[in-house]
């Protein structure tokens, strides 16, 4: 099983150019835990991350980073101090720096995040939910 997975991921690397494409389905199959973003790409000063959410996160803001949430599967509700945004698969929103937000996933949701490398998942609220993302 493990060998099969490695072989299929080898096919993601262009033998001539050395560039690697990312298959999101393969990446999401590699982990199961919620609220623990994984790094899957580097884009200038930002990371591309994948994460699974389920349940309610914590209110927080990022003082100096905009944060992009792009829904791949499921539905994510992002509460703001004024209003809320419901995101379905194929939709994204950019939460501007300084704006408090609370992500809530009624059921499991698969998300791509794009945010500066300095971004901490819980923003200004360090606690049990704070994680340092690993690369997968
Ligand atoms: Ni955030």
Task: For residues 123 and 103, give the distance between their C-alpha atoms in angstroms, rounded to a whole number.
Answer: 13
Q: Give the other-Cβ count within 10 Å of 51's Cβ.
A: 23
What does the mean pLDDT of the chain come to?
Answer: 93
- Using the mean position of ligand 1's atoms as its centre, give its distance from the Cα of residue 31 in Å: 20
CB of 81 closer than 8 Å to CB of 100: yes
Question: How many domains in the chain?
Answer: 1
Give DSSP secondary structure letters for the chain.
-HHHHHHHHHTTB-TTT--B---HHHHHTT---BS--EEEEEETTEEEEEEEEEEE---B--SS--EEEEEEESEEEEEESS-EEEEETT-EEEEPTT--EEEEEEEEEEEEEEEETT--TTTT--STT---PPB-
Does residue 77 fall inside a structural domain? yes
Angle, alpha carbons 85-68-77 (nearest 5°): 25
Q: What is the CATH classification number for the domain harbouring 76?
A: 2.60.120.10
62-82 tens-digit pLDDT: 999 999 999 999 999 999 999
Q: Is 87's pLDDT higher than 80? A: yes
- Using the mean position of ligand 1's atoms as its centre, give its distance from the Cα of residue 59 in Å: 8
> Bigger pLDDT: 77 or 17?
77
Residue 8: pLDDT band (50, 70, 90) is: low
Lowest mean pLDDT among 1-10, 73-82, 92-101: 1-10
Q: What is the pLDDT of residue 6?
A: 57
* Domain range enclosing 71: 31-116
Does residue 21 fall inside a structural domain? no
- Using the mean position of ligand 1's atoms as its centre, give its distance from the Cα of residue 61 in Å: 6
- Using the mean position of ligand 1's atoms as its centre, give its distance from the Cα of residue 37 in Å: 11
The pTM for the full model equals 0.90
115-129 tens-digit pLDDT: 999 998 999 998 989
Does residue 5 fall inside a structural domain? no
β-pairing verdict for 46-56 and 67-73: unpaired
Q: Is 3's pLDDT higher than 80? A: no
- Using the mean position of ligand 1's atoms as its centre, give its distance from the Cα of residue 23 in Å: 24
């Amino acid at each position: 099983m493990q060998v099969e997975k490695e072989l299929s991921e080898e096919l993601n690397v262009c033998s001539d150019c050395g560039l690697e494409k990312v298959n999101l389905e393969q990446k999401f199959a590699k982990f199961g835990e919620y609220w623990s973003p994984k790094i899957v790409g580097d884009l200038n000063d930002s990371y591309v991350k994948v994460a699974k959410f389920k349940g309610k996160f914590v209110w927080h803001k990022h003082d100096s980073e905009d944060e992009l949430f792009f829904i791949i599967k499921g539905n994510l509700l992002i509460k703001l101090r004024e209003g809320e945004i419901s995101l379905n698969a194929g939709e994204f929103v950019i939460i501007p720096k300084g704006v408090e937000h609370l992500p809530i996933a009624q059921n499991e949701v698969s998300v791509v995040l794009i945010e500066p490398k300095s971004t901490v998942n819980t923003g200004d609220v360090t606690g049990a939910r704070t994680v340092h993302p690993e690369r997968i």
